[in-house]
Chain A
Amino acid sequence: MIRSVLLHGFVIAALIALEPLLSEYHHGNLARIMVLAVYATGYNILFGYTGLLSLGHAMFFAAGMYGCALMIRLAEWSVGPAFIVGVICALIAGIIVGFLALRTIGVGFMIVTLMFAEASYLTILYYNEYTRGDEGFTIAQSVRTIAGLDLSDTTTRYFSALTLFSICLIASAAVVQSKAGRVLVAIRENEDRVRMLGFDPFRYKLFALILSAVMAGSAGAAYAVLFGYAGASFAAVQYSIFPLLWVLLGGPGTTLGPLLGTVLMFYLVDYASGTIMPGLAAMVETQFGIEAPGLASAYLLLVGVALVLLVLFAPKGLLGTLRARMIPWLP
């Protein structure tokens, strides 16, 4: 327990210490990554610890994003109350979806969550008059303030993202190491045995789903106010797949895996699309006189290869594998 507290404290301290040291580029990236890592941390509670693979988490992210952004845009609320509304929207969505989707298991759960998410996405498009549908809308820089702090300022944005991430990381660590957390892991391993022991798996799964939805919604609301944009693409299916990939890469069922996975995937995509593949295309053109524009855009192939290698050689993700082979106490 002490080692766990020290580790999480060290990670948060390291993120604080990094702030003045990072270049402007990495500074902005890390702020965004921490917001997305909140989303992944929430996903990890449901998938990594409870064993429920949702294909519809983008609806919770979007619920938070739109709940917050629409209150600012239409009701002219300030950021603080609007952010809370966003989180409440995600909470309500989590309760409704949980009660219905948790009647299914396995592939059925995946399909039902996917269908709910698709319905949410289409609803955003349908109410284009308010949401501006696929185009989305911006939130003016002048209204993105909280307690007198300008959220578009780089340092404020960084520490706002860090604060939210720290809260969610600590909450995640506290939950998974509590009695309830151990029941979640037990459900993941053998739900029938948990039921036989006298626990109600439905209640625990519902709790995990709601907590996961709230974290996803808080990430969505934070994205809207920190980066000034809300759009339907965040409710589309790929934004349900992203947290799954981040968690798989970092290590499902590890508290720090979501952060690691989000960092690595972000920079893998960034370097593959901006440096590696265009460089390869330029080399082919220079060396062989062949124009290869398709090569520059083939970076997702590189990302795919990385994921295949991960599944083959580290199926538990990076931190999961580290825990299995070297650090058994890793939370």
Chain B
Amino acid sequence: MATDDTNRRNLLKGAAAIGAVAAGSQLLPGAARYAQAQSSAPIKIGFQVHRTGIGAAYGRWYDRTTKAAAKLINDEGGINGRPIEIVAEDDGTDPKRGAEVIEKFATKHECDVAFGTLFSHVVIGSAPRAGELKLPYFVVSEGHHVASGMLNRYTLQPGITDVKSQVQSMAPWVADNLGKKVTMIYPDFAFGHDHRDYFSEAIERRGGNVIAKIAIPPRETSFFKYLPKIPKETEVLYHVMVGPGVLTFVKEMGEYFGDKRPEIFGFIDSLEAVDITSPGLEFLEGSHFWEGYPRYAGKDQSAHDKFYREAVGVDDTGASLSDPKDVSTFAHMFGCWETLHILKAGMEAADYKGPKDRQALIEAVENMDVFPESRAHPQGSKLFNGRTHQAFGHQHISRVEGGKLVPVHKTSIFDTFYEDETDYTKMSF
């Protein structure tokens, strides 16, 4: 494992490189090596998508974003002169089906790589098969499972940051701006436990502390009995509830606190694909949310953001251009767009021609360290740690004002770093 100093030196070099390259952001890694293909057969990318199950809302928007990115890449000449073909299969948001889909990509569709998906249990259930079949598996999950070292050399997460970096980067701003005495309300399973553990550590480093940790059992439908457990001295209420109970949770919080409420900070995962002006969510006015990518375009909207929204078919409020009521999963779906562009850059750097070049592709991506903000990376610049197969990037905090999410803070990439927990590059293929 690399030392802290080594990590910091490498990442500082990366940060300097971001500055150098930002001016010419069209110079993507490997772009100069765009080669004439020996074969015009499409490069097949197996897309593991949540079409059914609890992740269906995310899957629909991951699908739209993926199609938009694939169209752009093909319109610009494809990869190494070959078009890309997205082969989509529903994983049912189920780890068993997810693993079956990975097998199908490798052995039936003969895909060059696999790509997707969001829910951690599907990724963790699928990754062993990807490793055994030696199929590069680029996930857009934001789980910490990749960087934790749980998976294998063939599984990478270069297009989206992970929950550990997201959570810990929120703590300084929360402590400095909202309060230091925090009560956490979270679902009593792995996702909630990750928030509990990572945030508790991070807020203590900033001089704050979590004064109460309230775990909500899965499938709970009413939250009134948990609310009295919130200590009176609470300055900040941190919530990460997900699933169909979210609207009830917010409504009951409103009835319990009335006008006298602590500051409230949540993760937008609770309200992805949900219109923030939906009846029952009025109580969230004035509260803050983490967003991976701000749903509402800010005043200083970049040209890359504008281009990305138009390509995917999303307006400045994060809703579908064809139906303003159809709100996207904006904070997460950019990961599909960015991952496909990294795949393109990796294949070009590796001069990828077919499955025999899969190892070269993985090594090429592992050797990447900087993704400058660009059309390929509209969410912002990122640093990639090839040892842990994980990207690090800016995080955003928005405030609910007048029924809109108004961006108020953007973290530094350095706020998101943590010590390496694995080194996949030392793992054999």
- List chain A positions with a Cβ less than 8 A from chain B: 23-25, 27-29, 32, 122, 125-126, 128, 132-139, 141, 152, 227-229, 231-234, 270, 273-274, 278, 293, 296-297, 299-300
Also in contact, A273 and B90, with CB within 8 A (given A135-B190, A138-B150, A297-B56): yes
What residues of chain B lie closer than 8 Å to A278, measured between beta carbons?
88
Q: Is B132 an interface residue (CB 8 A)?
A: yes
Q: Which of B99-107, B169-177, B223-231, B384-392 contacts A (4 or more CB under 8 A)?
A: B99-107
What residues of chain B lie closer than 8 Å to A24, measured between beta carbons?
106-107
Contact among A133, A141, A273, A296 for B189, CB-based, below 8 A: A133
Q: Are B129 and A228 in contact (CB under 8 A)?
A: yes
Q: Which of B75-83, B120-128, B246-254, B304-312 contacts A (4 or more CB under 8 A)?
A: B120-128
Q: Are A293 and B60 in contact (CB under 8 A)?
A: yes
Q: Are B121 and A141 in contact (CB under 8 A)?
A: no
Q: Are A128 and B125 in contact (CB under 8 A)?
A: no
What residues of chain A lie closer than 8 Å to B127, measured between beta carbons?
138
Q: Are B96 and A28 in contact (CB under 8 A)?
A: no
Q: Is B33 an interface residue (CB 8 A)?
A: no
What residues of chain B lie closer than 8 Å to A227, measured between beta carbons?
99, 128-129
Q: Is B51 an interface residue (CB 8 A)?
A: yes
A95 vs B128: C-alpha distance in the bound complex, in angstroms? 33
Q: Are A229 and B132 in contact (CB under 8 A)?
A: no
Q: Is B108 an interface residue (CB 8 A)?
A: yes
Which 6 residue pairs across A and B have the least CB separation, nearest first?
A228-B128, A297-B51, A25-B107, A25-B108, A24-B107, A133-B190
Interface footprint category on B: 35 or more
- B114-147, CB < 8 A from A: 120-121, 124-125, 127-129, 131-132, 143, 145
Also in contact, A234 and B128, with CB within 8 A (given A29-B103, A135-B120): no
What residues of chain B lie closer than 8 Å to A296, measured between beta carbons?
51, 90
Q: Are B100 and A32 in contact (CB under 8 A)?
A: yes
Q: Are A134 and B189 in contact (CB under 8 A)?
A: yes
User: 14 A-B contacts, Cβ less than 8 Å apart?
Assistant: A28-B103, A125-B218, A128-B193, A135-B143, A135-B145, A137-B124, A228-B128, A228-B132, A229-B124, A231-B121, A233-B94, A293-B60, A296-B51, A297-B56
Q: Are A138 and B121 in contact (CB under 8 A)?
A: no
Q: Is B414 an interface residue (CB 8 A)?
A: no
- List chain B positions with a Cβ less than 8 A from chain A: 51-52, 56, 60, 63, 88-90, 92, 94-96, 99-100, 103-104, 106-108, 120-121, 124-125, 127-129, 131-132, 143, 145, 150-152, 188-191, 193, 217-218
A137 vs B124: C-alpha distance in the bound complex, in angstroms? 7
**Known contacts A28-B107, A233-B96, then 13 further A-B pairs from the complex at CB < 8 Å, ordered by chain A residue:** A24-B106, A25-B104, A27-B107, A29-B100, A32-B100, A125-B188, A136-B124, A227-B99, A231-B124, A232-B189, A233-B121, A297-B52, A297-B56
Also in contact, A128 and B190, with CB within 8 A (given A136-B121, A297-B52): yes
What residues of chain A lie closer than 8 Å to B191, measured between beta carbons?
134-135
What residues of chain B lie closer than 8 Å to A231, measured between beta carbons?
95, 121, 124-125
Q: Are B189 and A125 in contact (CB under 8 A)?
A: yes
A126 vs B189: C-alpha distance in the bound complex, in angstroms? 7
What residues of chain B lie closer than 8 Å to A141, measured between beta carbons?
128, 131-132, 152
A233 vs B132: C-alpha distance in the bound complex, in angstroms? 22
Nearest A residue (CB) for B89? A274
In the complex, how many angstroms separate the beta carbon of B161 from the nearest chain A beta carbon?
A: 18
What residues of chain B lie closer than 8 Å to A25, measured between beta carbons?
103-104, 107-108
A138 vs B131: C-alpha distance in the bound complex, in angstroms? 11
Nearest A residue (CB) for B97? A269
